């Protein structure tokens, strides 16, 4: 196992509790001087101790460095070892190459723990929905931002206070940008889109705007209208040939099943042609929930399971697209902001001394092109139904 952080420790706890017939032979860690709860001989800083050991048939990769994780995963797969990973950035950024390596060397890479913690969404997209026509996949993919938003809307905490609480509890990092900026759910969305629609999309090509610019005016506006704000990734097929992907805050009302997904929990909503609408709910973060997903993958490897990427075989006519219209709320600070952004239509406009916003229809391409302007301090964007 590479890494012995929150998830690694959680996985070890589960294995020890369940007394499974498997053995963790060695942990590779970065800091040899850090105090550990296990015997020192189980730990090493030498990656070759795992990668060159022919007796080891499965590598579990649980580190936070995406570049290093890719090199470890690639080396293990090409050496005949199966890999289980929870590194969503690494997988999203290199999935096409990793699939090709698996096919060439006959090895298997599983990564259920990389998307939505304990929710088995990847396995369901691979198996249950393998012949289904999926209209959309959306939901709450990031427990840290959802925890912050829950504290804001349910307990009237300020954004700063809610963020600090999330950091104190270990839900958010000291630098929370990956979570509150929408990058973490974007990587997960890219992985989900691959299994749902059979497309490989570079995460850098996917729009993500987060909740880091959320202000008191936006919170007050949402509450007055009966909304909560949730940070939602969306994969949606349009006209049977194109798939749109983006991550945006969204106003949701009480009729939306995601309205009551609170704190660090995740929820995935799948809309399909024949199965109709189905909802998956569970813990999206934490050592034990994510560790349980990792263990599920390890167990699956014992009976030869591998992702078949069935949707990719029929994906020739499906392509990623940004040609899409959506309705947004834009709170802005400077008047010239609106002069630089081209709305197709504006249906509502408010202009006050300390609060200015517009609601209108705009193209996804325009938001991507003007992202730096839209994401300036004093502005906030959220999608409206």
Enzyme catalytic residues: 188
Query: HEC string of 296-357?
Result: HHHHHHHCCCCCCCHHHHCHHHCEECCCCEEEEEEECCCCHHHHHCCCCEEEEEEECCCCEE
H helices then E strands: how many in the chain? 15, 16
342, 345, 349, 333: which is closest to 368 by C-alpha? 342
117, 283 Cβ separation under 8 angstroms: yes
Only one residue has tokens 């995460």, namely 203
Within 208-286, where are the H helices? Answer: 216-225
Q: What is the distance between the alpha carbons of residues 33 and 339, in angstroms, rounded to a whole number?
A: 56
What b/e string do you get for 138-155 counting C-beta neighbours within 10 Å, with b at 16 or more? bbbbbbbbbbbbbbbbee
Q: Can you tell me the distance from the alpha carbon of 113 to that of 298, in angstroms, rounded to the nearest whole number? A: 11
């Amino acid at each position: 196992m590479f890494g012995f952080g929150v998830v690694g420790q959680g996985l070890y706890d589960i294995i020890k509790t369940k007394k499974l017939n498997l053995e963790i032979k060695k942990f590779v860690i970065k800091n040899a001087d850090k105090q550990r709860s296990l015997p020192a001989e189980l730990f090493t800083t030498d990656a070759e101790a795992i990668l060159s050991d022919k007796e080891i048939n499965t590598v579990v990769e649980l580190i936070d460095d995406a570049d290093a994780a890719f090199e470890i995963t690639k080396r293990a797969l090409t050496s005949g070892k199966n890999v289980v990973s929870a590194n969503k950035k690494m997988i999203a950024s290199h999935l096409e190459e990793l699939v090709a390596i698996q096919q060439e060397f006959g090895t298997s890479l599983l990564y259920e723990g990389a998307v939505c913690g304990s929710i088995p969404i990847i396995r369901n997209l691979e198996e249950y929905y393998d012949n289904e026509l999926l209209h959309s996949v959306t939901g709450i993919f990031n427990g840290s931002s959802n925890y912050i938003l829950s504290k804001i809307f349910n307990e009237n905490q300020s954004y700063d206070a809610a963020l600090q609480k999330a950091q104190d509890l270990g839900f958010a990092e000291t630098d929370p940008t990956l979570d509150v900026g929408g990058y973490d759910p974007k990587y997960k969305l890219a992985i989900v889109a691959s299994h749902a629609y059979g497309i490989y999309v570079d995460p850098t090509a996917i729009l993500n705007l987060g909740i880091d610019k959320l202000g008191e005016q936006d919170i007050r506006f949402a509450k007055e209208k009966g909304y909560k704000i949730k940070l939602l990734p969306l994969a949606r097929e349009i006209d049977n040939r194109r798939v749109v992907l983006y991550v945006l805050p969204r106003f949701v009302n009480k009729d939306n099943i995601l309205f009551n997904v609170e704190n660090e929990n995740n929820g995935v909503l799948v809309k399909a042609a024949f199965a109709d609408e189905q909802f998956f709910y569970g813990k999206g973060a934490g050592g034990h929930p994510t560790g349980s997903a990792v263990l599920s993958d390890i167990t699956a490897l014992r009976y030869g399971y591998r992702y078949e990427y069935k949707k990719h075989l029929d994906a020739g006519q499906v392509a990623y697209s940004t040609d899409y219209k959506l309705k947004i709320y834009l709170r802005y600070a400077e008047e010239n902001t609106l002069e630089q952004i081209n709305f197709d239509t504006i249906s509502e406009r408010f202009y006050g001394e300390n609060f200015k916003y517009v609601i209108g229809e705009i193209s996804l391409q325009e938001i991507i092109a003007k992202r730096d302007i839209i994401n300036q301090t004093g502005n906030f964007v959220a999608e409206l139904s």
